[in-house]
Amino acid sequence: MIILVALLAMMALGGVAFAFAGGDERTQKRVSALAKSKPAGRNAAKAQTEAQKRKSLATLLKDVEKNQAALKEKNKPTLRRRLEQAGFEDANPRNFWIASGALGLVVALICFVTGQSLPVVALAAFVAAFGLPRWVLNFLFARRKKRFTKEFAGAIDVIVRSVRSGLPTNEALRIVARETPDPVGSEFTRLVEGLKVGVTLEQGLKKMHENMPTAEVGFFGIVMTIQAKSGGNLSEALSNLAFVLRDRKRLEGKIKAMSSEAKASAMIIGSLPPAVMGLVWLTTPAYINLLFSERAGNLLLGGCLLWMGTGIFVMRKMINFKH
């Protein structure tokens, strides 16, 4: 009996010793497993939240791009809009048509007085009344767009610094409208004035994109719309946008530098026929007057203009790189 009790006591002491000897290790293993499982669960939940947020942002971005594409197809710029885009804010389309008609009549009168044939007079009047004013309008708009693109990244930097310093978005837009030179300042002034009378930010940015239809303004509108609807760090998003716009500008300069030789060659080739024609006109005008006085000469001159225009158009397409 004593031996049995001793054996049982030894077994009990061994069990206790075994429990205490391996308990800490098992406890540590269980604690570490639980500690690992909790961060894993938290990381999984966080990753799922980030994936859902990223998916919602992608859906919102697609919706914004689709709305802008539909708006671009639906609302083609009218003559009044094109005048505003060129910088004529108070211009009237009726005055534009009156000036175009007067220019066409003056050119037709000059051609008639100099003794040109009727087809030449009609062609010159048509070009002066419909072609030249629209070309000037497009030239002024392209120059204004170039100036806007040049100053737009700096305006975004002003917004970023203002937001980081604690100012609200509307006040940052007012600073840009007040401090930035035209045409960026005038466009932001329109945006701020619209916000004062109750226009939403999305509507104001859409109006801004209509007045200045550039990719940079489209990017700015998308970023501001997404941040207004889904939230986030506005200063970081605009800072990244400014970096992208500067990279686009740098890429544009690189493309211009690499394509300058081709452009110079195209300009020389395109200007040779008119230059030779002018020299012949100055040296032997009777030799070249047949192109303007005879019907066959008029047809040849029209064919030459058609083929020269086609060649210049093709060369322009070849050297005009999209970026």
- Residues 237/220, Cβ–Cβ less than 8 Å: no
d(CA 305, CA 323): 31
Helix or strand run (H / E) with residue 41: helix 2-74
Range among 35-39, 45-49, 153-157, 314-318 with highest mean pLDDT value: 153-157
Domain total for the chain? 2
Cα dihedral: 246, 247, 253, 259 (round 10) = -160
Shared domain check, 205 and 77: yes
In-domain check, residue 163: yes
- Residues 84/211, Cβ–Cβ less than 8 Å: yes
In-domain check, residue 290: yes
DSSP state letter for 232: -
Shared domain check, 111 and 67: yes
In-domain check, residue 245: no
Shared domain check, 225 and 266: no
Helix or strand run (H / E) with residue 154: helix 132-164
Q: What is the pLDDT of residue 318?
A: 77
Q: What is the pLDDT of residue 62?
A: 62
Q: Tell if the pTM clears 0.75, that is, is over it.
A: no
Tell me the mean pLDDT in the region 254-259: 81
In-domain check, residue 45: no
Tell me the mean pLDDT in the region 222-229: 81
Shared domain check, 81 and 217: yes
In-domain check, residue 36: no
Using a pLDDT cut of 90, give the percent of the chain over it: 0
Shared domain check, 259 and 228: no
d(CA 98, CA 323): 38
Shared domain check, 274 and 203: no
SS3 state of residue 221: helix
Shared domain check, 119 and 69: yes
The pair of structure tokens assigned to 290 is: 């047949």
Type of residue numbered 25: E
Shared domain check, 123 and 88: yes
Residue span of the structural domain in which 310 resides = 254-323
